[in-house]
Structure 1
Amino acid sequence: MRSIRTLTLATLTALAFAPAAFAQDSTVDTASGKHFAVVGGVSLLQPKNDPLDGVRKVDGGPAPTLSFSYYINDNWAVELWGAADKFDHRVRGTDGARLGTVEQQPIALSGQYHFGQADNVFRPFVGAGYYESNFSNEDLASDIGHIGVKTAKGAIGTVGVDMNINSTWFARADARYMHSRPELTVNGEGTGDKAKLDPWTVGFGIGARF
């Protein structure tokens, strides 16, 4: 009789604690359902060679970058990405001589698709969108006046991968291509000449989602 009472008491106790235990088990640490992410990092921007007659190379340079993303769901996101400081470039002529310097600071808005589940360790993604890059502090050797570079505008494409550290933190590596054909100006007047810069960026960063 005592054993029946003990078994009954144990059964009732287990039933009483079962809902609480189930609720605790169901509270899983997950990245799924989080709608916002921010990434801080550094990127190296490198324009293509021979962008203009008389110019052999525009040297690349690093700059800190930031991005803010809104995840519509676990796979689709909208990202605002940009340089937190300016990329510095040295311009070299066909003989390798230095012609001067110029700076640029891009910003872009893209749609992205992230493959796989939100909690996968590695999550590749691709994106496409629109960007603008403002050029400033042009210091280019010229005997005809001040040479300037108009704002570049066009398409941007992105490929990358996130490595989940936990449900909040992740590391990111990405590459971006910008279709960049800014017009040159002399003393503020357009020349019709366009520099075919078409740069790539390669970046690394740390992100958090919430």
Structure 2
Amino acid sequence: MRSIKTLSFAVLGALALAPTAFAQDAGTDTASGKHFAIVGGATLLQPKSNPGNGIDKFDGGPAPTVSASYFFNDNIAVELWGAADKFDHRVRANGGGKVGTVEQQPVALSAQYHFGGADNVFRPFVGAGYYQSNFSNEKIDGLDASGDHVSLRTAKGAIGTLGVDMNINSTWFARADARYMRSRPELNVGGAGTGDTLKLDPWTVGFGIGARF
């Protein structure tokens, strides 16, 4: 959490300097026509509460994330986004008691539309696509009375994105975004599917610094 606060202050500082820096650079260079962009940052992922029978909450947590985009023109892009490390979750049963931990690492491919001109200081964007999230290191055997190992199958489904890029100059920009993933992984007990799913449906909030070229 401290890393996200630190990055948030860095982004706010970049925002304060963005209009001046971009105005100075705009006369000699332009963001228009550049086809590639990369972004590195930190993201907080929070699943919804009461995702399944007997489970009160999957605690959210931060992880570093990266993305790479290809712009077909100044407005339309395709983005590959994912977690560079795993999100850690503590699993809490009804009543607040901890019953275990689990990790996940999502990756997504989305089409995006970026509004306005490439040289605008603020450029909001929207996106939609498909993602997968692999769960690992599950230690939540307390969910099953038999004592068999409990695991989660890979979550797959739709992802939606809302965000804004804030140009610092024609190459560098700061990014803030929010993503929603429809996540309904099936519970496995003793290696076999149970037919029971968890409605995790997490939201993410991310901050990052990017470069286009």
| Matches of 1:102 and 1:182, distance apart in 2 | 13
* 2:138 is aligned with 1:135: no
Shift of 1:130: 0.1
Q: Hey, what does 1:74 align to over in structure 2?
A: 74
Asked if 1:202 corresponds to 2:205, the answer is yes
Alignment-mate amino acid for residue 98 of structure 2: R
**Corresponding residue number in structure 2 for 1:22:** none
Partner of 1:99: 99
In 1, Cα distance between equivalents of 2:54 and 2:95: 9
CA deviation profile, 1:131-188 (whole Å, cap 9, x unmatched): 0000000001244200000000000000000000000000000000000000000011
1:50-129 matched pairs, under 5 angstroms: 50-129=50-129
What runs of 5+ residues in structure 2 fail to find an aligned partner?
Answer: 1-26
Q: Work out which of the residue numbers 149, 153, 163 in structure 1 matches 2:152.
A: 149
* Superimposed CA distance per residue, residues 37-61 of structure 1 (whole angstroms, 9 cap, x where no aligned partner): 0000000000000000100010000
Deviations 1:16-44, CA, capped at 9 Å, x for gaps: xxxxxxxxxxx840000000000000000
> 1:125 corresponds to which letter in structure 2?
F
Give the equivalent residue in structure 1 for 2:167: 164
* Match of residue 33 from structure 1: 33
Map Cα deviations across residues 80-112 of structure 1 (whole Å, 9 max, x no partner).
000000000000011000010000000000000
Aligned letter for 1:90? R
- More deviation, 99-108/141-150: 141-150
Letter matched to residue 128 of structure 1: A
Give the aligned residue type for 1:40: G
- Rg larger for: 1
* Structure-1 residue corresponding to 2:186: 183
Q: TM-score when scaled to structure 1?
A: 0.87
Q: Distance in 2 between matches of 1:28 and 1:129?
A: 36
Letter of the 2:158 counterpart: A
Q: Whole-Å Cα distance in 1 between the matches of residues 54 and 176 of structure 2?
A: 35
Residues matched between the structures, number: 184
Gaps of 5+ in 1: 1-26
**Runs of 4+ residues over 4 Å off in structure 1:** none
1:115-142 superposed Cα distances (whole Å, 9 cap, x missing partner): 0000000000000000000000000124
Matched position secondary structure for 2:64: strand
Letter in 2 for 1:73: N
Corresponding residue SS for 2:169 = coil
- Which of 1 and 2 has higher RCO (CA within 8 Å, sep 6+)? 2
Q: Give the counterpart letter for 1:34 in structure 2.
A: K
